[in-house]
A and B are shown apart, each in its own frame.
Chain A
Amino acid sequence: MTIQLVFLARLRERFGVSRENFELPAQTPTHTNTVATLLAALREQGGVFAEELAEGRAFRVAVNQDVVQLDHPVNAGDEVAIFPPVTGG
């Protein structure tokens, strides 16, 4: 299944991409895609992805523009944004 990834601010610069399609395994009765499984798949790409998305690093994940926790499901067609802690105002 395909999702759309969005990277913002410092992470967009580090990854060198702002928006891209990403393939995740199809959902099955025994496999559910979540933010946690997506992050694991991204880390497997190694390099800056493994570095910036390592556990303990400060970043936030929004699914369809709502900030969510690691166990939140990710479905086909979702827009998943990964970004640093916000610094507006």
Chain B
Amino acid sequence: MTCVVRVQEADFDLGAEIRALRLGNPRIGAVASFIGCVRDMNEGDSVGLMYLEHYPGMTERELEKICAEASGRWDIFDALVIHRVGELKPLDQIVCVVVTSAHRGESFSACEFIMDYLKTRAPFWKRESTPQGERWVDARAKDDAAAERWKQ
């Protein structure tokens, strides 16, 4: 299993990333991907700008651990996680996860697992600008519940 983790300010091109993963690997029969984007509304307020902070070093380590856990649970070939940091605005892409495998079930499950664990374990924080001023986004119990269900 190969695991690639990138934390960057720059945008990414999912099509190019998938093409690069599939290149010369005819064992891949399935590719599942997820993209998270900046919404223009959160908690009932309009969001103009968003700033994403992280904990350099720990972020990469934690994402690699999550991908390794996914490969321990499912038979997958590649796991790619790209997460952007810095200033973002509505419509921007924030994060992508791509998983490849021989059959679709493994890719679908591993992709969702990686996202659920990223949401609760990877040290990123969002600060958003609303008409009421700047605020740090609060963690959501729904995200904890989503990660928790993989333990059953």
By a beta-carbon cutoff of 8 Å, the part of chain A in contact with chain B is 6, 8-10, 58, 62, 65-67, 81, 83-89
Contacts and interface: CB of A to CB of B under 8 A. Distances in A.
B53 A8 contact: yes
A87 B138 contact: yes
A83 B115 CA distance: 21
B21 to A, nearest CB: 21
B137 interface: yes
Interface residues of B, number: 29
A89 B124 contact: yes
Interface in B15-59: 36, 52-55, 57-58
Nearest to B127: A9
Contacts of B127: 9
B70 to A, nearest CB: 15
Contacts of A10: 125, 136
Contacts of B58: 62, 65-66, 81
Contacts, number: 71
A58 B139 contact: yes
Nearest to A62: B58
Contact of A65 (B61, B125, B140): B61
Interface of B: 36, 52-55, 57-58, 61-62, 83, 94-95, 115, 118-127, 136-140, 143
Nearest to A85: B139
The dominant DSSP class at the B interface is mixed
Given A65-B55, A81-B55, A81-B58, A86 B136 contact: no
A44 to B, nearest CB: 25
A74 to B, nearest CB: 16
Contacts of A9: 53, 125, 127, 136
Contacts of B36: 89
Given A8-B123, A81-B123, A89-B115, 15 more contacts: A8-B53, A8-B55, A62-B58, A62-B123, A65-B55, A65-B58, A86-B120, A86-B122, A86-B124, A86-B139, A87-B138, A88-B122, A88-B124, A89-B94, A89-B95
A62 B55 CA distance: 11
A8 B115 CA distance: 22
Contacts of B119: 86, 88-89
